[in-house]
Amino acid sequence: MSQTVAVLKRVGLILGLPAVLVATWWFTSADSQEFYQPPLSKIVEVFPKTWTSQRIVDDVVPSLGRFVVGFLLAVATGIAVGVAIGSNRALRAFFEPVLEFLRAIPPPVLVPILILVAGIGNDQKVLVIVSGAIWPVLLNTIEGVRSVDPVLVDTCRSYRVRGALRLRMFVLRAASPQIMTGVRQAQQIALILMVISELVAAENGLGYSIVQFQRGFQIPEMWSGVIVLGVIGVLLALLLRLVERRVLVWYHGVRAAERSQR
Amino acid sequence: MIRKTSAFIATTLLVASMAACSSSSTPNAPSSSGPAVDDKVTVGVIAILDVAPIYLGRDKGIFHKHGIELTMQQAQGGAAIVPAVVSGQYQFGFSNVVSLLLAKSQNVPIKAVANGNNSTGSTSADFGGLFVKDPNIKSPKDLVGKKVATNTLKNIVDTTVKAIVAKDGGDASKVNFVELAFPNMAPALDAGNVDAIFVVEPFLSAAKAKGWKQIGSYADVDPNLCVALYFTSTQLMTQKPDLVKRFTDAMKESLAYAQTHPDEARAELTTYTTIKADDTKNLILPKWPGDIDKTSIDKLAGLAVTYGLLTSKPDLTTLLP
Amino acid sequence: MTQAIAKGRTGAPPVLLGAAGLVAFVGLFEVLPRVGILPEAYFPTASTIGRTMATLVTESSFWVSFGETVQTWALGLAIAVAAGIVLGVVIGTVPVLRAATASTIEFLRPIPSVALIPLVIVLVGTDMESTLILVVYASFWQMLIQVLYGVADVDPVARETALSYRLGPWDRIRYLVFPTALPYALTGVRLAASVALILAVTGELVIGSPGLGHDIETANSSNSIPRVYALIVVTGLIGLAANLVARAVERYALAWHPSVRADVPA
Question: Vertex A129, ends A126 and A132: CA angle to 5°?
Answer: 145
Task: Determine, yes or no, domain membership for B284.
Answer: yes
Per-residue pLDDT at C75 exceeds 90: yes
C83 touches chain B (CB under 8 A): no
Measured in angstroms, the CA of A1 and the nearest CA of chain C are apart by 22
- Residue B106 CA to residue A216 CA, distance in Å, equals 8
Using CB atoms within 10 A of its CB, is residue C166 exposed (0-12), middle (13-18) or buried (19+)? exposed
A119 touches chain B (CB under 8 A): yes
Predicted local confidence at residue C79, as pLDDT: 96
- Are B158 and B186 in contact, with CB atoms under 8 Å apart? no
Q: Digits of tens for pLDDT over chain B (321 positions)?
A: 444 444 444 444 444 444 444 333 444 444 444 455 788 899 999 888 889 999 999 999 999 999 999 999 887 677 778 888 988 889 999 999 998 998 888 888 999 999 999 998 888 888 889 999 988 888 888 889 899 998 888 888 889 999 999 988 888 888 988 888 887 888 888 888 899 999 988 788 888 888 899 998 998 888 889 999 999 999 999 999 999 999 999 999 999 999 999 999 888 888 887 777 887 888 888 999 988 889 999 999 999 898 888 888 888 888 888
Q: Which residue of C has its CA nearest to A143?
A: C263
Q: Which residue of A has its CA nearest to B108?
A: A35
Taking an 8 Å cut-off on Cβ atoms, the answer to whether C128 and B184 are in contact is no
- Are B231 and B97 in contact, with CB atoms under 8 Å apart? no
Taking an 8 Å cut-off on Cβ atoms, the answer to whether C253 and B184 are in contact is no
Taking an 8 Å cut-off on Cβ atoms, the answer to whether A119 and B193 are in contact is yes
Full DSSP string of C12-79: --HHHHHHHHHHHHHHHHHHHHHHTSS-TTTS--HHHHHHHHHHHTT-HHHHHHHHHHHHHHHHHHHH
- What is the tens place of the pLDDT at every residue in C124-173? 877 888 899 999 999 999 899 889 888 888 888 888 888 888 888 888 87
Averaged pLDDT for residues A84-90: 85
Q: What residues are paired with C155 via a beta bridge? A: none
Entry pTM: 0.82
Taking an 8 Å cut-off on Cβ atoms, the answer to whether B10 and C81 are in contact is yes
Measured in angstroms, the CA of B15 and the nearest CA of chain C are apart by 9
Measured in angstroms, the CA of A57 and the nearest CA of chain C are apart by 20
Using CB atoms within 10 A of its CB, is residue C261 exposed (0-12), middle (13-18) or buried (19+)? exposed
User: How far from B79 is each of A213, B237, C37, CA to CA, in Å?
Assistant: 10, 21, 40
Identify the domain boundary among B220, B253, B275: B220
**C-alpha neighbours within 13 Å on the C-beta side of residue C232:** 25
Same domain, B232 and B113: yes
Percent of chain A with pLDDT over 90: 19
Same domain, B173 and B311: no
C213 touches chain A (CB under 8 A): yes
Averaged pLDDT for residues A22-29: 87
Identify the domain boundary among B220, B243, B260: B220
Predicted local confidence at residue B12, as pLDDT: 46
- Are B221 and B130 in contact, with CB atoms under 8 Å apart? no
Per-residue pLDDT at C261 exceeds 50: no
Of the residues C107, C116, C123, the best mutation for testing chain A's interface (the one with the most A CB atoms within 10 Å of its CB) is C107
Same domain, B115 and B231: yes
Task: Determine, yes or no, domain membership for C67.
Answer: yes
Q: What residues are paired with B214 via a beta bridge? A: B131
- What is the tens place of the pLDDT at every residue in A168-225? 778 888 888 888 988 988 998 899 899 989 888 888 899 889 888 888 888 889 889 9
Q: What residues are paired with B114 via a beta bridge? A: B230
Per-residue pLDDT at C260 exceeds 70: no
Identify the domain boundary among B179, B201, B220: B220
Same domain, B204 and B253: no
* Structural domain boundaries, residue C114: 60-253
Same domain, B44 and B57: yes
Which of C111, C213, C225 is opposite residue A230, by nearest beta carbon? C111
C236 touches chain A (CB under 8 A): yes
Task: Determine, yes or no, domain membership for C174.
Answer: yes
Predicted local confidence at residue C10, as pLDDT: 58
Domain count, chain B: 2
- Residue C154 CA to residue C170 CA, distance in Å, equals 15
Task: Determine, yes or no, domain membership for C123.
Answer: yes
Task: Determine, yes or no, domain membership for C28.
Answer: no
- What is the tens place of the pLDDT at every residue in A119-169? 888 899 999 999 999 999 999 998 888 877 778 878 888 888 777 777 777
Q: According to the CATH classification, is domain A40-261 in 3.40.50.10470?
A: no
Of the residues A32, A33, A34, A35, the best mutation for testing chain B's interface (the one with the most B CB atoms within 10 Å of its CB) is A35
Backbone angle region of C123, left / alpha / beta, with phi > 0 → left and psi within -120 to 50 → alpha? alpha
B155 interaction partners in chain A (CB closer than 8 Å): 215
Measured in angstroms, the CA of B273 and the nearest CA of chain A are apart by 20
Domain count, chain C: 1
Taking an 8 Å cut-off on Cβ atoms, the answer to whether C126 and B80 are in contact is yes
Task: Determine, yes or no, domain membership for B307.
Answer: yes
Predicted local confidence at residue B258, as pLDDT: 92
A120 touches chain B (CB under 8 A): yes
Task: Determine, yes or no, domain membership for C139.
Answer: yes
C217 interaction partners in chain A (CB closer than 8 Å): 112
Task: Determine, yes or no, domain membership for C127.
Answer: yes
Same domain, B134 and B63: no
Same domain, B91 and B237: yes
Task: Determine, yes or no, domain membership for B4.
Answer: no
Q: Is the ipTM, as predicted for this complex, more than 0.90? A: no
Q: Which residue of A has its CA nearest to B151?
A: A201
Q: CATH number of the domain that C133 lies in?
A: 1.10.3720.10
- Are B114 and B188 in contact, with CB atoms under 8 Å apart? no
Collect all residues from B whose CB is shorter than 8 A from any CB in A.
79, 82-83, 86-87, 99, 102-103, 105-109, 152-155, 176-181, 184, 187-188, 191, 193-194, 309
- Residue B190 CA to residue C237 CA, distance in Å, equals 33
What letter represents residue A179's amino acid? I
Predicted local confidence at residue C214, as pLDDT: 87
Task: Determine, yes or no, domain membership for B100.
Answer: yes
Taking an 8 Å cut-off on Cβ atoms, the answer to whether C221 and B183 are in contact is yes
Which of B6, B17, B87 is opposite residue C71, by nearest beta carbon? B17
A259 touches chain B (CB under 8 A): no
- Residue B223 preceded by cis peptide, ω within 30: no
Same domain, B114 and B229: yes
- Are C142 and C185 in contact, with CB atoms under 8 Å apart? no
Chain A to chain B, count of Cβ pairs less than 8 Å apart?
Answer: 58
- What is the tens place of the pLDDT at every residue in A67-77? 999 999 999 99
What letter represents residue A217's amino acid? F
- What is the tens place of the pLDDT at every residue in A32-78? 777 888 888 888 888 888 888 888 888 899 999 999 999 999 999 99
A64 touches chain B (CB under 8 A): no
* Structural domain boundaries, residue B61: 39-119+224-319
- Residue C161 CA to residue A160 CA, distance in Å, equals 48
Strand, helix or coil for residue B173: helix
